[in-house]
Amino acid sequence: MTNELKGKHFLTEDTWTKQELDTVFETAFDLKKKFYAEEPTLHLPHKTLFMMFFEQSTRTRNSMEAGMTQLGGHAHDLTPDKMQITHGEVAKDTAIILSRMGHGIACRNCFYGVGNIYLSEMAQYSRRPVMSLQDDIYHPFQGLADLMTIFEHCGKNTKGLKVTISWAYATTHAKPLSVPQTQILLFPRYGIDVTVANPKEFPLSKNIIEKAKKNAEEGGGSLKFTNDMDEAFEGAHIVIPKNWGGFGFYDVDKYLQNEDACKKEMSANLTRYKNWICDDKRIKLADKNVKLMHALPADRGNEVTDEILDNPNISIVFDEAENRLHTAKSIMALTM
């Protein structure tokens, strides 16, 4: 295992070169092959990962913990109620202490206007690699699994591949912007043509969009936006219908000062777009061999219908979920 990336933080793919990311994918594919061959890959024997979760998790927690075990180490599952965070301990102090006791820190903090700042502060003071398990801006591990899945189903030459990332109606909660923002930053770097569809009240963050446009120019892909879900689906090779909250509609300071009012407005806006769903009618607008992706959990019957989500000829969401394990192992093995 190469040591060139040892100690490197993983808060977003945007701070990793394409060559470094290629190494991550190469390692992930190798680890997946060995996983199926039941060949041990003990790259991190007796090492410790501290996992901090401010929100609940299924794929992220289990991919990291199972991955760490399979690499020969151990992961601590930490929540604020198990730590002094609930008594006011700051990110700096937590990072200094944990990085003296283990070999890596992974953290999920998705609170809008707070999460990425918290993780960045941890990275500043940690002597070990800090990995983002998702924040309010980025979800880098999801981005890796998404692109690995695209490589598996569409080949590694993704130039000209049409991927539609569409906002979709959901009733569960106002989901973070981090998944679609990670996708628009990452996919065009590999020559992918990305179309984003969203109601005007549910935009992505302006600064992320500008950065993604630059990534597209440098990577040979493209990025366009529409407020028409049908238009976005036309001819798409891959569709990703997923809800995200209207956080990008607000200035961060304005949101934090008027959080209750903003949430109330977002909820009112949400009810106008119940027809933003991936169903049989919309999927027929896409390419005849279209594939459906979703970070999960999907809000069934709202974001996407069961007949599409459970169709093995269309849906590759469980391949995508499994690849969370292999890409997580790759990052941990390379950085820890």
Q: Which pLDDT tens digit goes with each residue over 196-247? A: 999 999 999 999 999 999 999 999 999 999 999 999 999 999 999 999 999 9
Domains in the chain: ranges and CATH: 13-139+322-335 (3.40.50.1370), 142-321 (3.40.50.1370)
Q: Rounded mean pLDDT of 158-173? A: 94
Q: Rounded mean pLDDT of 102-109? A: 98
pTM here? 0.96
82: confidence class by pLDDT, cuts 50, 70, 90: confident
251 to 54, 84, 98, 183, 204: CA distances (angstroms): 23, 31, 33, 22, 12
1: confidence class by pLDDT, cuts 50, 70, 90: low
169: confidence class by pLDDT, cuts 50, 70, 90: very high
Is the predicted pLDDT of residue 173 greater than 80, yes or no?
A: no
Give the model confidence (pLDDT) of 270-308 as tens digits. Answer: 999 999 999 999 999 999 999 999 999 999 999 999 999
Give the model confidence (pLDDT) of 174-202 as tens digits. Answer: 799 999 999 999 999 999 999 999 999 99
Give the model confidence (pLDDT) of 9-50 as tens digits. Answer: 999 999 999 999 999 999 999 999 999 999 999 999 999 999
Q: What is the pLDDT of residue 2?
A: 64
Count of C-beta atoms within a 10 Å radius of residue 94: 23
**Amino acid, res. 261:** A
Nearest to 316 by CA among 285, 284, 294: 294
Do 236 and 290 contact (CB within 8 A), yes or no? yes
81: confidence class by pLDDT, cuts 50, 70, 90: confident
Angle at which helices 140-154 and 178-186 cross, to 10°: 50
d(CA 65, CA 54): 16
